[in-house]
């Protein structure tokens, strides 16, 4: 990221940057530390826009019913660090797993694919995270309105499903390239084939989700709630954990 300074070694940085050792002493968990470039930092660390938004999300989450899992990163601390290039805002958050991009890159390199359950779970978590941010009064797209987030969610879900970016910026998809060359040389596909596309779309809830989100006109995009209704997925892991807990409780009586 452009506003993030890179470090070569977390252990080395922990011994050199004032404040980090104390953070590690107070924490009993792995953490992630984001160091912003000086030009993207603020005089008062509390005025950092990212920190302000994350604190507001924390407040909204604390005041909301605790019946759903958290869908945004947990900020644990923040501080200033003065380095050779200026003063840097530093954010300490919980340590998350690899990014979607890294996971898909690894799958493609190993000629592997994501399990359907993983695709559905990740898609639902993306939409629930956007829904939560919108309810709290924030838009992930910055200066754009909430409908821009719907477009980006559609792109992410498409990428999870096909393991390729929908618009292939900087590359190409072999199947799309093949169909495009046919159209260029032979003309448009036969109109009689259109009904087959419609049948495929009507029978595929996943496509309904993607197409509903990826509409040119923002007002024509489906809502987050409607997109979530297309994803029929139950977290059986939670049910299993609850059953195991009940069984353990009964055996202890």
What's the pLDDT at 15? 37
Q: How far is CA 150 from CA 30, 127, 141, in A?
A: 32, 8, 10
Extents of the domains making up the chain: 4-94, 100-236
The CATH architecture assigned to 100-236 reads: Orthogonal Bundle (1.10)
Encode the chain (253 residues) as per-residue pLDDT tens digits. Answer: 445 544 333 333 443 444 454 555 555 788 899 999 999 999 999 999 999 999 999 999 999 988 888 888 999 999 999 989 899 999 999 998 888 889 989 998 999 988 888 888 899 999 999 999 989 988 876 556 678 888 888 888 888 988 877 766 444 555 566 677 777 777 887 888 777 766 765 655 555 556 677 777 778 888 888 888 878 766 656 666 666 666 666 665 5
What's the pLDDT at 233? 67
Backbone angles phi, psi at 4, to 5 degrees: -120, 130
Two tokens, residue 26: 């107070």
Q: What is the DSSP letter of 140?
A: T
User: 65-104 burial, b if ≥16 CB within 10 A, otherwise e?
Assistant: eeeeeebbeebbebbbbeeeeeebbbbbbeeeeeeeeebb
What pTM did the predictor assign? 0.65
């Amino acid at each position: 990221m452009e506003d993030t300074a890179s470090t070569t070694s977390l252990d080395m940085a922990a011994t050199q940057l004032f404040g980090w050792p104390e953070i590690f002493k107070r924490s009993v968990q792995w953490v992630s530390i984001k160091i912003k470039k000086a030009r993207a930092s603020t005089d008062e660390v509390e005025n950092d826009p990212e920190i302000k938004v994350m604190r507001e999300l924390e407040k909204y989450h604390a005041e909301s019913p605790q019946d759903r899992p958290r869908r945004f990163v947990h900020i644990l601390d923040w501080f200033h660090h003065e380095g050779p290039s200026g003063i840097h805002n530093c954010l300490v958050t919980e340590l998350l797993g690899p990014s979607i991009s890294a996971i898909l890159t690894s799958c493609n390199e190993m000629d592997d694919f994501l399990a359907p359950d993983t695709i559905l779970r990740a898609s639902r978590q993306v939409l629930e995270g956007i829904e939560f941010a919108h309810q709290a009064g924030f838009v992930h797209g910055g200066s754009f309105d909430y409908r821009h987030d719907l477009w980006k969610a559609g792109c992410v879900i498409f990428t999870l499903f096909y393991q390729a970016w929908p618009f292939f910026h900087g590359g190409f998809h072999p199947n799309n390239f093949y169909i495009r060359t046919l159209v260029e040389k032979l003309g448009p596909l036969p109109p009689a084939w259109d009904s087959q596309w419609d049948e495929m779309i009507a029978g595929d809830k996943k496509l309904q989700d993607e197409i509903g989100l990826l509409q040119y006109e923002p007002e024509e995009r489906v809502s987050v709630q409607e997109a979530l209704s297309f994803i029929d997925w139950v977290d059986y892991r939670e049910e299993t954990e609850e059953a195991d807990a009940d069984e353990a409780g009964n055996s202890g009586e």
